[in-house]
């Protein structure tokens, strides 16, 4: 893939491809923050996952965290043995995930083919809500399904 090409994958197609028992929910307002997603879905912030794109030594890495946790850069750099870590900018997010900032879904080949690191607290959650690929859409699924399909490295990377 040429570096300037934008990765594209469709959340519905991904769900069907891997036979994930996930449901997409559309909302009348945007759900790009954990607070708004929690208000509109009725789910606790801890059940709403954030899929972040970080640049680790110049390469994109997807990070999945519960909505009530923050990424701890020091812990992540220890897990990945990285020298430099920064948040991806909106252009990088679009290029590597195919999604706009605030709409990134973990249910995508664009994410699955990256190195994915999930916070270990994810393993304690049963039902999770994540980005649905559009700013007004969330996907509800079991954390087990997400982990089985995306196969992230799980580690303590949050604060």
Q: What is the pLDDT at residue 1?
A: 43
Q: What is the pLDDT at residue 2?
A: 44
**Dihedral angle, C-alpha 92, 95, 97, 103, nearest 10 °:** 70
Domain 11-151 bears CATH identifier 3.40.1160.10: no
Q: What are the tens digits of pLDDT across the range 3-46?
A: 568 899 999 999 999 999 999 999 999 999 999 999 999 999 99
- CA 153-13-50 angle, to 5 degrees, is 40
| Cβ within 8 Å of residue 90, ≥6 positions away | 100, 101
Q: Distances in Å between the alpha carbon of 139 and those of 22, 54, 58, 151?
A: 6, 22, 30, 18
Q: What are the tens digits of pLDDT across the range 69-121?
A: 999 999 999 999 999 999 999 999 999 999 999 999 999 999 999 999 999 99
pTM over 0.85: yes
- Residue 53 pLDDT greater than 60, yes or no: yes
**Residue 36, Ramachandran bin (φ over 0: left; ψ between -120 and 50: alpha; else beta):** alpha
Q: What is the pLDDT at residue 5?
A: 81
Of 16, 4, 6, 28, which Cα lies nearest the Cα of 99? 6
Domains of the chain: which residue ranges?
11-151
% of residues, the chain, pLDDT over 70 = 97
């Amino acid at each position: 893939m040429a570096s300037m090409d934008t990765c594209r994958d469709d959340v519905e197609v991904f769900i069907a491809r891997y036979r994930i028992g996930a449901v997409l929910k559309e909302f009348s307002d945007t759900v790009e923050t954990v607070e708004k997603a929690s208000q509109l879905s009725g789910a606790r912030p801890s059940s709403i996952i954030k899929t972040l794109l970080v640049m680790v030594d110049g390469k994109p890495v997807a990070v999945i965290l519960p909505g009530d946790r923050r990424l701890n850069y020091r812990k992540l750099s220890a897990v990945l043995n990285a020298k430099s870590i920064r948040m991806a900018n909106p252009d990088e997010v679009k290029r590597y995930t195919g999604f706009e900032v605030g709409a990134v879904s973990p249910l995508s080949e664009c994410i699955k083919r990256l190195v994915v690191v999930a916070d270990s607290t994810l393993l304690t959650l049963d039902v999770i809500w994540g980005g649905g690929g559009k700013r007004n859409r969330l996907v509800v699924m079991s954390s087990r399904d997400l982990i089985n399909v995306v196969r992230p490295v799980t580690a303590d990377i949050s604060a």
